[in-house]
Each structure stands twice: as C-alpha cells, then as structure tokens.
Structure 1
Amino acid sequence: MFTLTGRTFIAFDDKFGRSTVSMLTHSQGNSDENEWFSLLLNLIASNSKLHVASFRGMVVDIDKVKSIIFQDNIQEQWTQKRLKRFVLDKLQNYERNFLKNF
C-alpha cells in the first residue's frame, strides 16, 4: 500500500445531474489509495456518468475499467484487485514514458 499525493480525482455527475469533482487529496496532502478505487467502483456500479478519472496524474480509461468491473458476475473484492492491477500497470508505463522525456 502507498499514499497518494496530488492530482488524484474523479469527475462525475451526481444524482441531481450536477457535475462534481471528487478530490482524494485531503488537507494533509495525502489519502489512502483504497478510497479512490472504492469511489470509482461504486460510481460505475451505480451507473453514474463518469467524465474522467485521474490517478496520480494519469488519466484512466473509463471504458476499460467498466469492462473489468462488469465482465462477469464476480466478487467485488476480486474486481477491485483486478482493477488495481490494471491501473497500477498503466501507471508504471505512464511514469516510465514520462521519465524518458527528461
């Protein structure tokens, strides 16, 4: 487990149709990674309209995440582990490519 710092958010429409941005960096500047994954899973499972999700500066492919969550009738815990693996693998590639530019 690690802590998140900066640019970790999910933008979505709330139940009243208003656009909302949920930041996951608190006043102390960090939060637990599980908050972000739980929020994303819950929003998708409740069929909320998601605009964008950013994890440590990397934009997450919402359609790919939906395909992981709704693939089969699978347990939520397994789904969250698979989702984390997908996002963290993408993040590794993103950071590797970002560092190549310097």
Structure 2
Amino acid sequence: MAFLNEHYPSCSSYYKQKIAFRTSRRRWNDVTIGKAVGITVTNYVRHHMTQYEYLMGALKLTREEARIVVAEEVKDIWQSWQQPRLDTTPADDASAAPTDQ
C-alpha cells in the first residue's frame, strides 16, 4: 500500500485495496514493484472502470480494438490518480467507492 499511497495519491483507498490485492496474488518474475503495480492499475481500470468488457462481449470487438477504444479513458484515470491530492481529507471516503460492486 505504501507504493500506491506514494505514487497514486488521488486514488481512493477502495481502489488501492483492490489493486494491492490483485498485485500481491500474482507471481511477478524479474519485475519491479513499479512495473507490477502499473500493469495491475492499467488492467484494473480497463476491465472495471471502462466499457472494455462490453465492447468485446456485446459489440464483438477484438481485444486490440477494445483496447484502442478505451485507451484514452484508461490513461486519463491512471494520470488523475497520480496527481497530488488537493484536499486534506483521506481518499477513502464512502463517495469514492462504487455502489454497484
């Protein structure tokens, strides 16, 4: 969590916990913590915060096509999480977590 807190300060605690769990359960060979977390963040955002799955399932886009469609959205979320927090309240308030998951 320390790495996520330092490098993704605007990411809510809800998502940090999800990402930390996913990062820790995978075996990473010869990969830095930064690379492992970056891959996990990108994958989590793509699969859980965009229409990626819908594009492949309902619209029958290929994985590569769906990635192209959501790439900008993934990048925007990823970068927003890396920005310093502008307020002094923790990033773990209830409003930061989705209600449908």
Higher normalized strand content (fraction of residues): 1
| Structure holding more helix per residue | 2
Calculate the TM-score normalised by the size of structure 1. Answer: 0.38
Tell which has more relative contact order, 1 or 2 (C-alpha 8 A, sep 6+).
2
